[in-house]
Each structure stands twice: as structure tokens, then as C-alpha cells.
Amino acid sequence: MRQTGGKLTNFGDPKFGSWLKEIDKIGNLESNSQYVIVNQKEFSQSIIEGYLEAINQVSKSIDKRGKEKTFTKLEVLNLISDAFDIAKTEGEKRIRKTKEP
């Protein structure tokens, strides 16, 4: 990667994380901004758990509506959007927890 001054071979490289913190102007403006360097296995596990939690929550929401209920196209799109929002939030929470002492 030209901007780092060297060839980037691993996003988990601590040098890359340090460089990213230094050049990120948006992150520097946010009071709670932080980067977390996580190994690939922990990252993958956190993402999978986030998606599983999303599936469970959306499934419960569908079950509450009744088995005979039909869904409009907009309702399906909203369910999908909700699932991705839940997965993102849950995945981020789990990633942060992997680095807590």
C-alpha cells in the first residue's frame, strides 16, 4: 500500500493499526473513537456470532406475528435491514469484548 510507505500484507499488523490511527482525521474528532486489532479467528467468530444473534432476533419477531401472516415486499426489506443492523451492532460488541482485559 503506497500510503503506508511499505507493502501491506496483513491488516492485523500493529504498524498498520498505528499508521491508521495517525492518519484518520474523522476518528480523531470522535471522542470515543478507537481501533482494535484482532486476529482473524476472533474477528470471524465475532461476526458469525453477530449474524446468529440477528437471525435469532428476526426469527422471534416473525414468530410473534403468527404463522399465517403474509409479508409485503416492504416488510421483508425492513426485516432484512433490521437483521443487518443487529448483526453489525452485535458483531462490533463482540469484537470489542475480545480485547477487554
Q: How many CA atoms lie within 13 A of 12 on its CB side?
A: 6
For residues 35 and 15, the answer to whether their CB atoms sit within 8 Å is: no
User: Is pTM, for the whole model, over 0.75?
Assistant: no
Query: pLDDT band at residue 29, thresholds of 50, 70 and 90?
Result: very low
Q: At what angle do helices 73-98 and 40-65 cross, to 10 degrees?
A: 140
Q: Distance between CA 47 and CA 96 in Å, rounded?
A: 12
Query: pLDDT band at residue 25, thresholds of 50, 70 and 90?
Result: low
- Asked if pLDDT for residue 27 goes beyond 70, the answer is no
Return the pLDDT at 46. Answer: 85
Nearest to 47 by CA among 21, 86, 15: 86
